[in-house]
């Protein structure tokens, strides 16, 4: 028998490792617990969970909990939940839900067009190169960014949920995404072949338009036809009719929602070597509405993100934010806390603690994966945040009647973005945000991830 190479795992290695493992009582207890209930349940710390009691110094009441179900529309739900709060307050409503399938329709439509435009723009790039491979990977992902939602709303307006309700394909987007992605990859193939056969720019654009007609047909088939106008009848908490009439989506947005989406800016905190603070950033080829451009961020220290969030909450306005939701998360109880799970203690060596925040970003361990809404905060005697109240979009049966909590140490580690009114920024911050120059990040940068 041939000898194993020096760097292989040998039977002697395994015997030594098992003997070392078995000598430690804690390892045996951990094995029995984890194999019975799983890692997070075994690592749960009751004292850490208890520190996440509900009760806040600043709180912005919202309507009933919403549920994105089996879709990746958290950024849309968070955006619409932020948007509805002022309407609920102004009209004295008990609740209000705006249609999430309406922006889904137009986001898919615009993302498909964005993809085809990029496919034409990269026809001379190698098919197996990193850029084209990345563009083909997930052309119409459910996720998005605040700037992309703003683009959709400005172009198409908003409607009530009754005007465009959920469908089987909006509640569970997997089938729509699968078939639309397959079709778009085929479109990219046809565009590249047409270019190789000598098609000029006008001919390629003609193909794109024909392809987009098919995309539109697929979306109407799966999501229904978006309304050109719709009837609205809203009653307040006492049952009085406070709003009625027929609106177009743009009229409803301007006359009823009355939200200045252009006043809201995305602030991130990513203190990695390639992302200096107090600079504006954009992400190459990230967006949906072609004529509205992509995304733009202002990079600030984490302490500043918290100050901005608290300031907006104090003024009675919820805060859209992006985070890495799966980290240190007691999901059933709706608790995001670095002290609620002791994973490293369970295994006996650093697992969660093996990298700091910046290292996690650099090595692909962390990115924005979910968007939610901050709607409250508990402060200590010096006015510093202790626990944040979070409105999620996973239904009223999730967490504590649809709410989560975030401890401030978790915020430090896993929150990456807040969206706030520009009036809370300093003059210097506004100048940087509005300046002509923005550092362009690669499409696959972690700040380009979709919530």
The per-residue DSSP string of 32-82 comes to: HHHHHH-HHHHHB-HHHHHTT-S--SEE----S--B--BS--HHHHHHHHH
Q: Is 216 a catalytic residue?
A: no
Closest by Cα among 145, 152, 114, 139 to 368: 145
Which of the residues 81, 169, 267, 370 is marked catalytic? 370
Distance CA 78, CA 451 (A): 10
Give me the half-sphere count of Cα atoms (radius 13 Å) on the Cβ side of residue 16.
5
Closest by Cα among 288, 272, 448, 443 to 367: 448
What lies within 8 Å, CB to CB, of 227 at 6+ separation is: 159, 163, 164, 249
Tokens encoding 204: 């390629």
For residue 299, the 8-state DSSP code is E
Distance CA 369, CA 390 (A): 15
- Asked if 78 and 373 count as a contact pair (C-beta separation under 8 A), the reply is yes
Tokens encoding 86: 């002022």
Classify residue 422 by burial, with Cβ atoms within 10 Å: 0-12, 13-18, 19+. Answer: middle
Q: Is 3 a catalytic residue?
A: no
Closest by Cα among 414, 396, 107, 92 to 236: 92
Q: Is 299 a catalytic residue?
A: no
Distance CA 218, CA 224 (A): 10
User: Residue ranges of the alpha helices (H) in 92-173?
Assistant: 101-121, 130-137, 146-156, 168-171
Longest dimension (CA), the chain: 87
Which of the residues 66, 74, 222, 267 is marked catalytic? 74
- 3-class SS at 378? strand
Which of the residues 113, 118, 299, 392 is marked catalytic? 392
Parallel, antiparallel, or unpaired: how do β-strands 385-391 and 264-268 relate?
A: unpaired
What lies within 8 Å, CB to CB, of 229 at 6+ separation is: 246, 247, 248
Distance CA 126, CA 298 (A): 33
Q: How far is residue 83 CA from its own chain's centroid? A: 16
Q: List residues with catalytic annotation.
A: 74, 370, 392
């Amino acid at each position: 028998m041939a000898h194993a190479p020096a760097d292989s795992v040998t039977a002697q290695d395994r015997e030594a490792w098992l003997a070392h493992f078995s000598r430690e009582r804690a390892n045996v207890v951990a094995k029995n617990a984890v194999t019975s209930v799983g890692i997070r349940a075994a690592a749960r710390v009751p004292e850490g969970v208890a520190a996440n009691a509900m009760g806040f110094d600043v709180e912005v009441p919202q309507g009933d909990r919403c549920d994105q179900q089996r879709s990746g529309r958290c950024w849309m739900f968070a955006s619409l939940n932020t948007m509805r709060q002022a309407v609920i307050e102004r009209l004295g409503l008990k609740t209000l839900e705006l249609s999430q399938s309406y922006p889904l329709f137009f986001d898919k439509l615009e993302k498909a067009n964005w993809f085809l435009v990029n496919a034409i723009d990269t026809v001379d790039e190698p098919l197996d190169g990193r850029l084209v491979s990345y563009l083909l990977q997930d052309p119409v992902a459910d996720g998005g960014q605040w700037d992309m939602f703003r683009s959709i709303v400005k172009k198409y307006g908003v409607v009530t949920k009754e005007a465009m309700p959920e469908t089987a394909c909006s509640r569970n987007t997997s089938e729509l995404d699968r078939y639309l992605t397959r079709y778009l990859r085929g479109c990219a193939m046809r565009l590249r072949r047409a270019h190789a056969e000598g098609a000029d720019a006008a001919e390629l654009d003609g193909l794109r338009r024909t392809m987009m007609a098919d995309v539109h047909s697929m979306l109407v088939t799966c999501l229904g036809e978006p309304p050109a106008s719709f009837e609205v009848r809203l009653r307040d908490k006492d049952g009085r009719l406070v709003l009625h009439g027929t609106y177009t989506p743009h009229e409803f947005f301007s006359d009823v929602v009355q939200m200045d989406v252009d006043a809201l800016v995305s602030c991130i905190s990513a203190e990695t070597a390639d992302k200096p603070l107090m600079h504006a950033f954009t992400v190459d080829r990230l967006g949906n509405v072609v004529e509205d451009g992509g995304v733009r961020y202002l990079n600030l220290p984490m302490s500043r993100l918290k100050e901005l969030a608290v300031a907006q909450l104090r003024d009675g306005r919820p805060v859209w934010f992006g985070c890495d939701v799966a980290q240190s998360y007691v999901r059933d109880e709706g608790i995001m806390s670095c002290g609620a799970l002791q994973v490293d203690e369970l295994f006996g060596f650093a697992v969660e603690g093996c990298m700091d925040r910046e290292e996690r970003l650099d090595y692909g361990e962390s990115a924005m994966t979910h968007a939610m809404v901050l709607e409250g905060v508990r402060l200590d005697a010096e006015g510093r945040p202790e626990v944040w109240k979070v409105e999620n979009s996973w239904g009223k049966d999730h967490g504590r009647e649809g709410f989560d909590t975030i401890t401030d140490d978790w915020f430090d580690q896993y929150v990456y973005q807040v969206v706030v009114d520009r009036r809370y920024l300093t003059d210097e911050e506004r100048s940087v945000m509005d300046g002509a120059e923005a550092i362009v990040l690669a499409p696959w940068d972690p700040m380009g991830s979709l919530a």
